[in-house]
Structures are given as structure tokens and as C-alpha cells.
Amino acid sequence: PRNAMPSIPSRALPARQPANVLEEARTRLHVSSVPESLPCREQEFQDIYSFVESKIIDGTGGCMYISGVPGTGKTATVHEVMRCLQHAADMDEVPPFCFIEINGMKMTDPHQAYVQILQKLTGQKATADHAAALLEKRFSNPAPRKETRVRLVDGLDLLWTRKQNVMYNLFDWPTRRHARLVVLTIANTMDLPERIMINRVASRLGLTRMSFQPYGFKQLQQIITSRLNRLKAFEEDALQLVSRKVAALSGDARRCLDICRRATEICELSASDPSALGLVGMSHVMEALNEMFSSAYISAIKCASTQEQLFLRAVIAEFRRLGLEEATFQQVFVQHQALCRVEGLPPVSMSEGLSLCQRLGACRLLLLESSRLGILQRVRLNVSQDDVLFALKAD
Amino acid sequence: MSKRKGKDTHLPIGECITQAQQILRERFCQRKLPDRPEGVEAQHRRLLELLRRTAIHGESNSVLIVGPRGAGKTTLLRCVLRELLEDKDVQKNLLQVHLNGLLQTDDRIALKEITRQLQLENVVGDKGSFAENLAFLLEALKKGDRSSSRPVLFVLDEFDLFAHHKNQTLLYNLFDVSQSAQAPVAVVGLTCRLDVLELLEKRVKSRFSHRQIHLLSSLTFPQYLERVRAQLSLPDHFPDPNFAQEWNADVKTLCEDKSVEEVLQRHFNSSKDFRSLHTLLVRLTGISPLVAVGSTRVIEHPVWNNPFQLPCLCRVSVSKPSIRPADLLDASRLCLADAKANMLHGLSILELCLVIAMKHLHDVYEGEPFNLQMVHNGTPTHLKEEGGGGEKERGFFSCFFCRTRLPRLEFKKFLQRKSNSMYNFEQPVVMKAFEHLQQLELIRPVDGSSAKTQREYQLMRLMLDHSQIMEALQKYPQCPTDVKQWAMSAFA
């Protein structure tokens, strides 16, 4: 089997179907179940659709740059455009075309882009250099009957090389007369072309740009509602709280869906009687939000052992004495011994003090230099002093 | 002894002790799973539910288990997996892939390992570069779907090390699979870093579901005591019930002893995690650790790095088949001993004198680095060298400082003052002693570039604290009185 492709074996028993409302809601809220049409991205959909459609109908090529923070629906929108165009092509409304997708993150090396494009075009396998040459020939020579190719390049910033030849080629091919190539590129930062591309690459990318704004709270709410699709699992206020929180922090739709999913789990756990499941309410959502957004530093300090807490106190005392945010272990240790005496605990040996310090450093409450420096290593706090004092005082 | 033998025991006493040692050894050294995880019921239930949903419903998930070292992260996961696999459906369906950040140091190796553990290697063959392997794996996962393909559980131990791989390709792809309609996967990461999310790139972070399970111990001292008792007790199914009963009663009285409680309180204050407790108990019960070399985490126990202490460890023996409070005190003393002070006990008098001279220099110059010349002669050579030009004023001041104070401190003057020819060593001998101190890392060069400067002039720092030197001096066997006095001498 030379061309056998590996696959995950199929399961002995089919997966169980969702049994109750909450499970059903959880399935629908999973990020992977992308809906047929994306709510709140109609304008962007329209823009990309008309851009690609016009290129296909004219038989010309072009580039488009799409940017936006993660989780704003860039890839999903482009996929939806392609689905619709494919449907239109099947109905003979637009000329037939083919669609190729590559992702910078899924490649080990920028030059692998050539290999993947060639393989998706012809099924042929070649080394990176050979593939580049073949593609070059393909795109520059006229062929009798050619359909337009639409190419989606995700994770554009990872295709950066020092000579930028991969990006150059990707944007140069559409400008050839015979290529009939439409390239859609996706990246996170808006100013990527200005920042990392040399002029001849940036000019070939052209000025057709689009940026996806982070979702506002109304949009997030609409997304969840449309996913749930009249399934009654959430209280209205709970949904609003989630979307407002997420919109205030990042506007990432994935986060919003994850929190809702977690809230359904909490609701299921808290229900005493499994047959009578209630709606997901405010309290469940609050708990999920706390779990996902709160930082663990304070509880970690609270749960630390007595000597570790004392060491943190010593660090702060030494910082106050020095007026700096950095001290050597030796200096802190003197404070630690004094604090031990005040608290009436037996003094610890230097080795034990070092291991206390290393333990705090391993869970990143402290930032340490390499432990080979022994007592000369410098210690800094990774949390603000106020947080430490709050955590130590609260009980 | 004779009384014990007089009872109708089923087994000879030596056999009993071997059995008991075997059981305790499994518990402390080979990380035998407890019957149920203690103190983490909520976390256990949450993780179990999550993995069960992946296995049964085919829901993709990702979760991070975060907790300090020795808090029982791996134990929790293994307990959950043990319970999960009791279900026949799950057992038939779930595929497991275990990766460790310390072994799979880059994505290429990790990918090979994934292919191997998924048993896809006969399909992939040895053809294919790293890039092709990745393409194969992604293709395989993509072809699967939620309801029909077997769910895969990825366990990433030392998760934070995976975040240091180039572009975080592996993490991106695993999380991406978990967030798209492909083969169902559950990604479980174990890490001790609280700031692990800040290590992730933002598109990787966006794809991670932000579920974190924190393992922080909220143990109180009575619970700790109870745990010590439980850890030392023999189980009910011990072959010789009489011996087990007596042993358990002994352990109970041991834990109620006042001095024992005091020692355990001290250990509890220092750290709450179970691994440091195990270190103490290993010492206590005299389990020869070398037997446990088969287990994976052997190196982590500090005891095992010191083979010279083994002979005195075997405390529980035929002539003394129980643990006494004194044993615990001894074991605790070994655990709490200061390593550097122990090293000082092994130095020669000359080396000790050099250390004292350095301590005096350290006091006078408030932590400025020194070199051998200063330690030996008291001539501040580095000041002389930089004395020309603009540095003159500062040089003068420092020299003035030296002339008035230094001659009383450093090594050679010490000899002259004492007119004690016993320690009158040649320069090369002193040099040798100095180098030995450097090899022991009791002193450390200030900058790494040692090739440029001559050895006598290389600037050094002392890696010892005052308290350590003074303490070692008190306990040094047959320390000459004048050396002691010199060390103590306050200078004003």
C-alpha cells in the first residue's frame, strides 16, 4: 500500500446520542459544530463573496488580506463563502472553480507550502524546490482550458522567511496573465503587510483589505441564541452576562461558547434529581466565569505551607527595606530567619530555605535565576505585592 | 522478641518484615496508586466526567491540570483513567497517547511517538519526513468524525515544555482538532506552572478551552498526621494478621507521641506535599531505595542521590521490628540537615582558614568580590592595577581603607600574628586549596570568562552564608582554638 493513508480506527460501539436538553445544548454549543450561516458576519460575507465572485466571472486573479483577533470568525466566514460559491457553481450560476486551503500553522516549514499546494492541485508529491518549479511553470504557461483556483492561506505570518520568497511567490502568481488565481490570506494583526513584508511583496498583496472586529455583546448573544436554535436551556439573563463579560475581555466567540458549555456541566452537576433539570441560571454562569477567568495565584498562596508563606513575607519585607523589586536569596533569607524568630517557629537551614525558594519558583510565584547560583541568586515576585499581602491577610 | 515469637504467628518474623517492607516500598517508591484519591474528590469527579464524555459521546475537550510539584497530578489522572477503563465500552473505544515534555523535546520526536502509540506506523512506514508525518497525522484525524471514529486521549506531561517548541505547532494542531469537527480528542496537560496560559501563543490560547483543574492542598495538620498514620499502616489483607495488628498499633502510638508530633509539625510547616513526606518516611522505614530503580521517577527523591547513607537507613530489622520515635527524629535530622555545612565538615584546616579569610574580606568590603591574592596576602591587587588615571581618588581611599583594617584579617597576617609555623604553607599549596574550594562550588567566579585572567587574580564570590560558616566551625572535629578565635574575632 504505497499510497495508503493512515486513519483513526472506527469505534466498536457508536457514540451515544445526547439524552436530555442540557446534553443537546452542549452538543450544539461545541465550537466544532459550525452553523450553516454565521450570524453577525453578513457584511463581511457579502464583501468576500462579491470579491471572489467577480474574479471568477472575469477570469482574472487577485489577492485579499483578512485580519482580526482569534475567534472572530475569519476562517469560518471564508469557508462559508466557498460553500455558497460551490453551490452556485453546481447550479451553473458561476463558472466552476476549485478551492485549495493551506495553513501556516500546520506546516513544519514555510517552504512546505509549495508541496501542499502541488499535492492538492495534482495529487503529485515532490520536494519543496521541485514543487516550486512545477508550480511556477504551471502558472506562467497558458493552458487551453483552465478553471479559476481560489486559495486560502491561513496563518500568513508563519510563512515569513528571511528572503520572503514564499510570500512573494504566493502573491506574484495571481498577477500572471494566465494564472487565474484568487488568493485570500488570513492573519491576526492588521498591520502585518507594513510590518514584516518588503515592498515588492506588500505591493503585490495589494490594497484589498478587510478586518474582522471583535464581537460586541449583542453579537455574541445572537450567536449563542442562534446556535441554541429555540432550545430552552439558558435563562435570558445568564446569556447576557456571559456575552457582556466576554465582550469586555476579548470578544472571542470561542471563549463565549466554552463558558456556556461549562455552565451546562455545572448545572447538570448541581441538579439533585437527574430527571428534573432546570435551566442554566445566573449562579451556574457565574461559577463558570470565575473558573475560567480568575487567576490562581491568590489561592495558590493561600494554600502554600507556613514556611512558604513566611518566605513570601520575607521577600516583601526585603523589597521594602531595599526600595527595589529585586533581592538576592541571601538577603531574603536573613529576613526569613528574623520572621521565624518573631513567629516562634524553629529556624530553617539554608538548604531548606533554598528548597522553599525553588518550590515557589517552580510554580512561578517567584521568578528566580538559575539555581546553580545558590544563595547569590536573585529573587523577584511574579505577582504584585498587593496580591500577596491580600492573600496572606485574608485569613 | 521472644514474646513475639511465642505467639502462634503464621509466618516467621523475618518474612513478615520483608513483606511489610515490600508493601511500604511499593507505596513510597513505586508510586502505587491509592484506592481512592484523597482530598481531591471534586477535581476527580470533574476530570472523570470530562473524559467520560469524550469516550462515550465523542465530545472533544481540552483541560489543564495545574498544581505544585508533588501535589498528586499524575496520581489523580491515573486514578481517573483506572476508573474510566473499568467501563467496558470505554475500554474498547478509547485510544491513549502519553507524551512527556522531557522526553519529546521537539515536535518531530513527539510526532513519531504519537504515530507509534496510535499504531499507525505500519501505514506510515519509515518513509516520510517530519512534514509528511504531520500531514499524515492531521489527515488521519481529519478523516475521522465525531460519532464513528475512536476517541483519542492525549496526555501531555510537563505541558509547559511543549509550549517552548517552535511555533507551538503540535499544541496548535491538537487544540485545533479538539475545536473542529474531526476525530474526537481529549487533550490533558499536566504542569506545575501557574502562568502556563501566558506561555501560549494567542491563536493557540484561543483554541484552548480554558478549563483548568487546580490541585492545591488544603491539608490541615491533623489530616496530615492521619495521613502519616495511614501511609505507615499495613493493609488488612496482610498475610500475618497478628503482625499487622501489632505493627498498626505501634504506628498509632508513634503518631501520638509528643516529640514525633513536633517533628512532623515542622515538616508540615515546611511543605505540605506528599512527596517530601514520602522522603521522610523512606528514610524512616529503612527501605533500601536502590531496589526501586525500576520506577520512573527515582531521581527526584533527594535521598537517592546519596548512596553513602544507605547502610544506616535499614532501621527496621528482625531485631527491632517496629518504628520508634527516636528513628523518626533521626530521619528528620537527616532530612533537615544543611548540605553546605556538611561539606564544610569535610574540609581541611587550610581550606577552612581560607574560607574564614574570605568571610572576613566579605565583611569588610560588604560583599565585594575578592581574588586569591587578597585572600592570601591582603594586597588589594585589583585596586593597584586600576589605580592610574581617573580612578586615583577612589583607589587611594580604598587603599587607605585596606591599610588600616585589612592587615589584621587576611590569612598571611593571621599566621604572622600568631607566629604559628604549623600553617605556614607555600603559595602553590594555598592555590591548590583555593582551587579545591572552587571545585566544590563553595566559591564561584564572578564572570564566566576564566581564560583571560590569571588564576590568582580572578575575582570570586563566596557562596556561603555567615551562619553556615559559624555553625560548621562549632561542629568541626578538633578545630584548632586559634582558628576558631580568629573566625570569631570581631574587628572594629
What is the predicted ipTM? 0.93
Residues of B in contact with A252 (CB under 8 A): 206
**Structure confidence by residue, pLDDT tens digits, A190-237:** 888 888 788 888 888 777 888 999 999 999 999 999 988 888 888 889
Question: Looking at chain B, which residue has its C-alpha nearest residue A297?
Answer: B194
What distance in Å separates the CA atoms of residue A114 and residue A102, rounded to the nearest whole number? 10
CB contacts of A291 in chain B (<8 Å) are 211-212
pLDDT tens for B138-189 read 888 888 777 788 889 999 999 999 999 988 999 999 999 898 878 889 999 9
Question: Contact at 8 Å (CB) between B316 and B391?
Answer: no
Distance from CA of B419 to the nearest CA of A (A): 35
B385 φ, ψ (degrees, to nearest 5): -65, -45
Q: In angstroms, rounded to a whole number, what is the distance separating the alpha carbons of residues B96 and B78? A: 12
Question: How close A344 comes to chain B (CA, Å)?
Answer: 12
Q: What is the C-alpha radius of gyration for chain B, rounded to an integer number of angstroms?
A: 31
- In chain A, whose CA is at the least distance from the CA of B111? A108
Between the alpha carbon of residue B184 and those of residues B53, B54, B177, the distances in Å are 10, 7, 8
Q: Tell me the chain B residues in contact with residue A5 when contact means C-beta distances shorter than 8 Å.
A: 123, 136, 139-140, 143
Range of lowest pLDDT (A180-194, B390-404, B436-450, B473-487): B390-404
- Neighbouring C-alpha atoms within 13 Å toward the C-beta of A284: 25
CB contact under 8 A, A346 and B266: yes
Contact B186, B208 (CB under 8 A): no
- A8, A10, A34, A289: which to substitute to probe chain B, counting the most B Cβ within 10 Å? A8
Q: How many CB pairs below 8 A link A and B?
A: 220
Whole-model pTM: value is 0.87
In this complex, do A6 and B136 lie within 8 Å of one another by their Cβ atoms? yes
Distance CA A141, CA A98 (A): 19
Q: Closest-CA residue in chain B for A125?
A: B132
> What mean pLDDT value characterizes chain B?
78
Alpha-carbon distance A330 to A247, whole Å?
46
Report for A4-18, A64-78, B304-318: range of highest mean pLDDT: A64-78
Residue spans of beta strands (DSSP E) within A204-333: 209-212, 327-328
At position B42, the amino acid (one-letter code) is A
pLDDT tens-digit readout, B74-107: 999 999 999 999 988 888 888 999 999 999 998 8
Q: What is the spatial distance between Cα B114 and Cα A129, in angstroms, rounded to a whole number?
A: 28
- Closest-CA residue to B163 (of B202, B117, B136): B202
Mean pLDDT of chain A: 87
Q: B170: which strand partners? A: none
| Chain B: closest CA distance from residue A295 (Å) | 8
Rg, Å, chain A Cα set? 29
Q: With an 8 Å Cβ cutoff, are B152 and A375 in contact?
A: no
In one-letter notation, the amino acid at residue B152 is V
Closest CB from A31, A262, A359 relative to B68 = A359
Q: Does A5 touch chain B (CB under 8 A)?
A: yes
Higher pLDDT pick, A215 / B124: A215
Please indicate if any CB of chain A lies within 8 Å of the CB of B123. Answer: yes
Q: Which residues contact A235 (CB under 8 A, 6 or more apart)?
A: A279, A280, A281, A282
Helices assigned H by DSSP within A59-159: 74-90, 112-122, 128-140
Q: How many Å apart are CA B107 and CA B130, to the nearest integer?
A: 9
